């Protein structure tokens, strides 16, 4: 799907209707933000056929590989949406999303770009608008600064930290989150870079 700027500046016609119009069921919907080539989106969809997954990115060329895999594997629980993430609340309705995955996003290290970090208060407040009260957010990153910033943001805003590690593959913890690797994740691991992982719930008033 590729809504126009006018559509997302108002409300996209699928807002609140993804299950009904696209997936034809009422199964939970999980988003992957900045999905790139869609490895995580399609990998999760293969593993959990009773859950719907939507990969979101602003560059269609990145998502082509994931969409092709979904078609080849006949994955009817996968969708892809090309849009800017700051319009996310115009594309999804209140309580429509059960989980969000943020996999190796741009850390936006310059202070003036702090609100563009996908775990900044700006984006977390937006996620509150579309997520279910018990919804979970996952972050995987190679960047130490983004990892620490996320932990600080969770604590300062009284969100519920469920799990965190600064070395996912070296922690000795067997976790499902380590079973699927993105292109960049595999590249970082080959270079000896430690992968950080954070799992948390939003404090929704």
Catalytic-role residue among 6, 57, 106, 166:
106
Sheet with 78-82: strands ordered across:
78-82, 52-57, 29-33, 97-103, 131-141, 196-201, 160-165
| 55 SS3 class | strand
144 backbone φψ class: left, alpha, beta (φ>0; ψ -120 to 50): alpha
Cα separation, 131 vs 193, whole angstroms: 32
How many Cβ atoms are within 10 Å of 106's Cβ, its own excluded? 12
Is residue 106 part of the annotated active site? The answer reads: yes
Catalytic residue annotation: 106
């Amino acid at each position: 799907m590729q809504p126009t700027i006018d559509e997302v500046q108002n409300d996209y016609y699928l807002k609140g209707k993804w299950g009904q119009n696209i997936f034809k069921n009422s199964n939970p919907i999980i988003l992957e933000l900045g999905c790139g080539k869609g490895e995580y989106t399609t990998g999760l969809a293969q593993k959990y056929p009773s859950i719907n997954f939507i990969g979101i990115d602003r560059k269609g060329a990145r998502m082509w590989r994931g969409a092709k895999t979904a078609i080849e594997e006949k994955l009817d629980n996968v969708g892809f949406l090309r849009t800017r993430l700051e319009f996310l609340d115009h594309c999804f309705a209140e309580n429509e999303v059960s989980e969000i995955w943020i996999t190796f996003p741009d850390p936006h290290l310059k202070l003036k770009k702090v609100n563009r970090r996908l775990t900044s208060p700006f984006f977390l407040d937006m996620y509150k608008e579309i997520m279910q009260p018990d919804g979970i957010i996952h972050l995987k990153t190679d960047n130490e600064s983004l990892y620490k910033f996320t932990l600080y943001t969770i604590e300062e805003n009284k969100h519920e930290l469920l799990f965190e590690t600064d070395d996912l593959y070296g922690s000795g913890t067997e976790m499902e989150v380590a079973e699927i690797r993105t292109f960049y994740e595999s590249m970082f691991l080959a270079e000896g870079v430690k992968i950080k992982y954070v799992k948390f719930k939003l404090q929704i008033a």
